[in-house]
Amino acid sequence: MNDEHYTGLVDLLAHNTSANRFFNNLPSYVQDMIRERGNNILTEHRLRQYAENLVQGDK
């Protein structure tokens, strides 16, 4: 997993194919919640952590 820093979610998804693939496979409601905090998602690792926390909250 690439842990490069980006300027936000849009930059991350535009330049990191692994993060983009992961994001696009998430349920749409999780994608929406992540977009709301997009300025705070600067690495693929943070994206995966945040998504996992959101999904865990549903269990």
Residue-level pLDDT at 14: 98
pLDDT tens digits, one per residue of 18-52: 999 999 999 999 999 999 999 999 999 999 999 99
Residue 58, pLDDT score: 65
Angle between helices 17-24 and 44-56 (to 10 degrees): 20
Predicted pLDDT at 3: 73
CA angle (44, 46, 49) in 5-degree steps:
110
Predicted TM-score of the model (pTM): 0.89
